Structure 1
Amino acid sequence: MEYHVLHRDKFHREAIAGSEVEHQIASGIKEYFKEYSDWAKIIKVPLDTWEEISCTISFHDNILNCKSMPFTLSGEVEGEPVFADYLGDKIVSNKQVSGNIVFIPFPDDPDDSKYVVLKLYEHGAKAVIFYDVLPGRYRRMVIIGDEDYSFSHGAPSPIPVASIRKEDYLRIYKEMPRRIIFRSNTKITHNAQGYTVIAGINGRGDREIHVTAHHDHWFSGFSDNMVGVELLIQLMKKYRKNWNEHNLVFISYTAEESGSPYFTSWYWIWGSRYYLELLEARNDTSKIIADVNVDAIYTYPLHFNANPSLMDCINKLVESGRGIYDGYNYTDFDSYSYTLHGIPAITLHTLKEMKHIYHTNLDDGREVYDYIISNALETLDDTVRCINNNMPKYRYITKYIKERLGDKTPLEARNLVSKLETINNKINEDASIRIVTRELSSIIYVPSQDGLFTSDLLADVVEIMDKLDKIDQYIGKRIRVKVVDREQFLDISPTNHNKEELIKSLQYALIQRINLYNKRIEDIIKNIVLYKKYEKQP
């Protein structure tokens, strides 16, 4: 296979959304898109961008390089080094944290880094320096100073944060300097512009399948996600002269890693969220049959996270040995922007397998062999062709919901399922899929390190049912669960003292939660019936 963007240095410079490097990479991608498609364009995306100018740690006569964590602000901090680690859900340290600079490993899930920073800040830390348990790597994780996740609010990190290599940490630990100086020189630019590249292969009719990836990346970004961009170009080459099916739209998004304005705490997938909002405003989202997204291709077999309406294709991919179905569409990927608009979507990825190099300087392709990329291309081809020939089906959504709720559901849940099973008698299948996906998708999370973060159809309802079923496992613990941009819907502290009454309380909360969805679906059906009646009037 002849590569276009892989193994070419100009595409593997750190490309932060809104930077000049990102602009250059987007322009280069557009040239390949133009060569292998019927049309191509770039759209500009308003965003916030961040730049690291320098990052150093000084002690004695030594100066060590570090990597500032996005979107750390500029600052200079002097203090005593404190060495910390994790003990269960607690952080322990060799001395007092307050007024000092804390060195600590990245948590098992690096995306939880912000909770570590916020906890150490509450105990008085002046700065936090992360290091990996494996040598040779720097890592960048976005640090937002807000424990919640929201599309509309957030805050910058309250203290400067950086990462160093393990070998540099060991050197500091060995020398035990009394004082160190941490300098972070960075630049934030609000109202900057990122660049999303879009191209099309014209087929038949007015409907289209989107095939997507993102090109912004930390460090060299080989698997995350220049492989994805390469796969889009290779698929265009394959289809360019022999495609006569539904229209295909290929998109390389900006601002998947970061870029949402003014430190909003849901900082990722901003480029795709912005573009889908543009399409929604023009009533163009109805043209989209589905999105096939590619991200984090590092090894095989691939994993599929997808809307259950695509189960025909999911089953075919799994049965043919193409990969593993991991459940509902995953919030980490651009495909989730489509879910927010009710559009069926699937992502092909190996995110779990690449966690050890995720967002590090070692995501440089040294372990990604040609056969891995060839396998991913064949799987992407199979997925697009399958969706083209097998339209999303609503019955798989209702089947999925029934399986998720199980047999031990209250009457209100059965009533909701009955409504969902008849909704497509009143409206077409495509509209049914979009309404139920949009209205019943729920993103829930526990605002803490190692906490839950997931999305699913009726995720909040299923979470309450899980707590009811496993109440004894939570005795002596406090359980807090929130819904993104909504209320905290669960805050319980089960004990043997309150267990009996707490179960009744949870059962009541479950019914109230289901009734909210019942009311939402009833109102939608009512409005559709009224609209149809209005349309028939002379």
Structure 2
Amino acid sequence: MTLRERVKELSKYGELIAGDKKERLIVDKIKEYFEVNKITTYINPQNVLKWEEKEIELECEGIKIEAISLPYSPSIDVETSDYQVIKINNILDINKYYRNNSNKILVFTQDDLMRKIVLKNGTPLSHLPQNPPKLPAFYIRYKDANQIKGKCRFFLKSSFEDSIGYTIEGIIPGKTEDKIYVTAHHDHWFKGEHDDLISVSILPELKSEKYELHLISFTAEESGCFFSSFSWACGSYNFLRSNKIDAKLSISLDNLTLNSKFFVTPGLFKYFKNAVQYPSPYTDSYNFLKRGIPTISMSDIDYPYYHSEADEISETENYEEIVKLLNVFLSNEITINPQELVNVIFDTPLPIEIKELALNLIERGKYNELLKFYGSVLDLSKNTIQTYLFHKLVGINKAYQNSVAIEDFVELRNYCEDEICSKLYEKFLYYLQKEITNEYLIQLKNLF
């Protein structure tokens, strides 16, 4: 069976929401792929939140308009003219508008393709449960946008249920005790062939002449989180919380196309000439990074059909070269260069005492411990997320100029309209910076 045939066999099940009853069918099919190649498999059940759209209707002035609801939309049945149609340029912008919404029903559109992304409420980038979305959001094709006028009936029946998702792991013994984790995810929107069934299909074809391989297809990458605003990759997040992982490296294949880029942790830059030189916050590998494991993410952040009904593999796409590339990489000696992390420390705006302790720890062989200090910062004006070492301090520093949300910490916005208020806000940031500096100093000293 070719990779393309495997993808098509998986995508025939249609959209797969984490916790849906057909998830086990797909996982059993992946298990077959592993076992054909004599790979030992384990299936790990996980608690997930299953959201499902049951019924939907959007009608304006007697005209019914094709629509879908965005995941985690609550049920509603209302006739109103208090709504807003928003044309977006990128599906990732939806939650920027949704967070700033007052009490209007929002109708989104981008082009003539249906698209989906999970709605979020509360403080961004939090792994803790936040307030659930209070209003639904609808999505329509752009060609139908001019029909949204006058009084409209918005009807949605949706459900939220505690359910079980399944993560499947295949293990191939190696010639050394070093382990490498290569991951993908099988839950997906629409057909999800690039995001992420092609990656799932590649997993059974991977091999190493050296390392023990752990090949994992995660549940709950697209949805399934219990209202956390860090609403993706909670399958891998909970898997790693429940399992103690000792790994040399993690590789994530996610939203894979022939134009994918590599996002690489410092220490591995030398292997990828044109890589993005910071870890990706958008893939399952990020949860490995937070546990001190260096990561590589292979993903196409510019794929035009991301999370859309047009996400299909074409007949001309050949992923055999990617398989060969990965197998050559996995079969050769992989060494970490801590000096690359030293360079990041020098280039990051940090208090001198933080830099001195971090550099000292690298000299003492604590490279992996320092990786645990990575975190994400969301620029709320640009709606972009990036990872940083000692992210709380970097985020506070950025907050002097921009509104930011700092992972599992705080959202910082300057609402001031006069100079006195602005100076007080800067003073607040100064004292916050001092507190976080002391927090990091204590954590770093405990590593000696």
Query: What TM-score do the two structures reach when normalised by structure 2?
Result: 0.90
Q: Tell me what 2:442 maps to.
A: 519
Alignment check: 8 A CA contact 1:194 1:254 kept: yes
Does 2:229 correspond to 1:265? yes
> Matched residues in 2 for 1:253 and 1:522: separation?
35
User: Residues 459 and 72 (structure 1 numbering): CA distance in 2 closer, same or farther, change over 3 Å?
Assistant: same
Confirm or deny: 8 A CA contact 1:37 1:199 kept in the other structure.
Answer: no
Other-structure match for 2:42? 41
Q: Is 1:445 aligned to 2:378, yes or no?
A: yes
Does residue 362 (structure 1) correspond to residue 310 (structure 2)? The answer is yes
C-alpha distance in 1 between matches for 2:368 and 2:409: 21
Counterpart of 1:87? none
Does the alignment pair 1:228 with 2:199? Answer: yes
CA distance in 2, matches of 1:230, 1:142: 25
Residues 1:62 and 1:316: Cα distance change in structure 2 (over 3 Å): same
Q: Is the 8 A contact 1:289 1:391 kept in 2?
A: no
Residue 21 of structure 1 corresponds to which residue in structure 2?
22
**Alignment partners' CA distance in 1, 2:394 and 2:133:** 33
What CA deviation, in whole Å up to 9, does each residue of 1:270-321 have, x standing for no partner?
Answer: 11111111223xxxx22x1110111111232x3111211223xxx2332xxx
Which is worse superposed, 511-520 or 356-365?
Answer: 511-520
Alignment of 1:152-231 (within 5 A): 152-170=128-146, 172-173=147-148, 176=149, 178-190=150-162, 192-231=163-202
Counterpart amino acid of residue 342 in structure 1: G
Aligned: 1:421 with 2:385: no
Query: Could you say if the C-alpha distance between residues 331 and 316 of structure 1 is closer, same or farther in structure 2, counting changes exceeding 3 Å?
Result: closer
- Decide which of 214, 238, 248 is 1:289's aligned counterpart: 248
Amino acid of the structure 1 residue aligned with 2:57: T
Local SS of the residue matching 1:309: coil
Q: Could you tell me which residue of structure 2 aligns to residue 534 of structure 1?
A: none
Residues 297 and 349 of structure 1 are in contact (CA less than 8 Å); yes or no, is this contact kept in structure 2?
A: yes
Q: CA deviation at 1:502?
A: 8.3
Deviations 1:116-138 (A, max 9, x none): 12433x1x31x221111x22x11
1:433 maps to 2:414: no
Q: Corresponding residue for 1:101? A: 83
CA distance in 1, matches of 2:92, 2:445: 38
CA distance in 2, matches of 1:179, 1:499: 43
> Match of 1:110?
91
Distance (whole Å) between structure 2 residues aligned to residue 450 and residue 63 of structure 1? 35
Separation (CA, whole Å) in 1 of partners of 2:447 and 2:10: 52
Gaps of 5+ in 2: none
Post-superposition offset of 1:27: 1.3
With the length of structure 1 as denominator, give the TM-score of the two structures: 0.76
Tell me the SS of whatever aligns to 2:267: helix
1:12·1:221 contact (CA, 8 Å) conserved in 2?
no
The answer to whether the 8 A contact 1:5-1:11 is kept is no
Structure 1 partner of 2:331 = 385
RMSD between superposed Cα atoms in Å:
2.8
Q: Is the 8 A contact 1:393 1:433 kept in 2?
A: no
* Whole-angstrom CA distance in 2 between matches of 1:270 and 1:154: 14
Once residues 507 and 10 of structure 1 are traced to their aligned partners in structure 2, the CA distance between those partners, rounded to angstroms, is 52
Change (3 A) 1:501 1:484: closer
**Is the CA contact 1:215–1:226 (under 8 Å) kept in the aligned structure 2?**
yes
| Pair 1:129-2:63 in alignment | no
Give the counterpart letter for 1:159 in structure 2: L
Aligned partners of 1:112 and 1:449 also within 8 Å: no
> How far apart in 2 are the matches of 1:216 and 1:491?
38
- Conserved in 2, the CA contact under 8 Å of 1:55 and 1:65? no
The answer as to whether partners of 2:10 and 2:197 remain within 8 angstroms in 1 is no
Q: How far apart are the structure 2 equivalents of 1:11 and 1:230?
A: 14
3-state SS of paired residue (2:335): coil
Letter in 2 for 1:362: A
In the alignment, structure 1 residue 317 sits paired with structure 2 residue 264: no
Residue type of the alignment partner of 2:255: A
Structure 1 residue 194: deviation in Å? 0.4
Per-residue CA deviation, residues 149-175 of structure 1 (Å, 9 max, x unaligned), is: 3111212211121111112223x05xx
| Preserved contact between residue 381 and residue 403 of structure 2 (Cα < 8 Å) | no
1:217-251 Cα distance to aligned partner (Å, 9 max, x none): 0000011111111221232xxx3xxx441211100
- Per the TM alignment, residue 483 of structure 1 is displaced from its structure 2 partner at its CA by 2.0
More helix by proportion, 1 or 2? 1
The 3 A distance-change label for structure 1 pair 515 and 130 is same
Cα distance, 1:210 vs. partner?
A: 0.6
Which letter does structure 1 place at the counterpart of 2:128? S
Q: Measure how far apart 1:329 and its partner are.
A: 1.3
2:387 aligned with 1:455: yes
Alpha-carbon contact 2:60-2:152 (below 8 Å) kept: yes
Indicate conservation of the 8 Å contact 2:209/2:330, yes or no: no
Are the equivalent residues in 2 in contact too, given 1:66–1:163 (CA < 8 A)?
Answer: yes
Q: Distance between the aligned counterparts of 1:151 and 1:461, measured in 2?
A: 19
**Amino acid in structure 2 at the alignment position of 1:419:** L
Cα distance, 1:383 vs structure 2 = 3.7
Distance 2:341 2:241 in 1: 24
Change (3 A) 1:31 1:225: same
Task: Call closer, same or farther: CA 1:503–1:181 in 2, change over 3 Å.
Answer: closer
- C-alpha separation in 1, matches of 2:46 and 2:324: 31
**Structure 1 Cα separation of the partners of residues 11 and 412 of structure 2:** 48
CA distance in structure 1 between the partners assigned to 2:423 and 2:98 by the alignment: 38
Q: Tell me what 2:403 maps to.
A: 480
Question: Are the equivalent residues in 1 in contact too, given 2:194–2:312 (CA < 8 A)?
Answer: yes
